[in-house]
Amino acid sequence: MPYPTKRVHFDDYVFNIYEEVYDPAEDTFLFAENLDVKDGLEVLDLGTGCGMLGILAAKRANRVIAVDLNPYAIRCAKENSELNGVRRKIDFIQASLFTTLNANAVFDLILFNAPYLPSVEGEDASWIGHAWAGGTNGRVVVDRFISEVSPHLKPNGKVLLMQSTLTGIEKTLRKFSEQQLKAAVKAEKKLPFFETLTLIEASAGTEKETI
């Protein structure tokens, strides 16, 4: 197991960040600042990394499932859940997206700070590369996620997906719509060099009450 390279704080929470695990960045913090989890929800945190989003969600959620392809991320997130006193509320799974979930596993809220940046062949060869590299158009993982997410949402469930304008926000909104999900931009943050981080919220919206 690699060793922790730094310690990150958010609100009253503390996270050890291991080598080989995504270091929480502006996208993580924009996501965290806009995470409003109500009591009792069932939450899926895909691509959990150091576990920050799942751990914040676990404060009020009934249960969180945290998934990551990267085995070091799973170890790191598990330790951080212990550090922050929410270990018993979170199950950790090393897997790609929904592959190991039961077909009938459904959630109130699905979080994904995705690998969304355009990349060239080989840039996803390391675990850190896997954290950000989204293929030539930056959409390989994002598009797969959107096409597979619907069956895992409760009728009034919601999706929060982070991406960047470098990967085409309109295209993402259209892809959600093709899956009968209503999507809109929930929060944005401008970065230098003509890039804006964009948190997109999508829902089936079949019931009146919202989460």
Ligand X SMILES: C[S@@+](CC[C@H](N)C(=O)[O-])C[C@H]1O[C@@H](n2cnc3c(N)ncnc32)[C@H](O)[C@@H]1O
- What residues make contact with ligand X under the rule CB under 6 A? 22, 24, 28, 31, 46-49, 52-53, 67-70, 73, 96-97, 113, 115, 130-132, 141
- Nearest one of 146, 152, 157, 173 to 205, comparing CA atoms: 157
For ligand X, which is the closer residue by CB, 70 or 203?
A: 70
The helix (run of H) or strand (run of E) holding residue 18 is: strand 13-18
3-state helix, strand, coil in the chain (%, to 5): 30, 35, 35
Rounded CA separation 14/135 (Å): 32
Least distance to ligand X from the beta carbon of 45, Å?
7
Environment class of residue 27 by beta-carbon count within 10 Å: exposed (0-12), middle (13-18) or buried (19+)?
buried
Nearer CB in complex with ligand X: 126/206:
126
Q: Work out how close the CB of 49 gets to ligand X at its nearest, in angstroms, rounded to a whole number.
A: 3
Q: Which is nearer to ligand X, 48 or 198 (CB)?
A: 48
Nearer to ligand X, 136 or 180 (CB): 136
CB of 180 to ligand X, least distance (A): 23
Contact 74, 127 (CB under 8 A): no
Q: How far is the CB of 22 from ligand X (least distance, A)?
A: 4
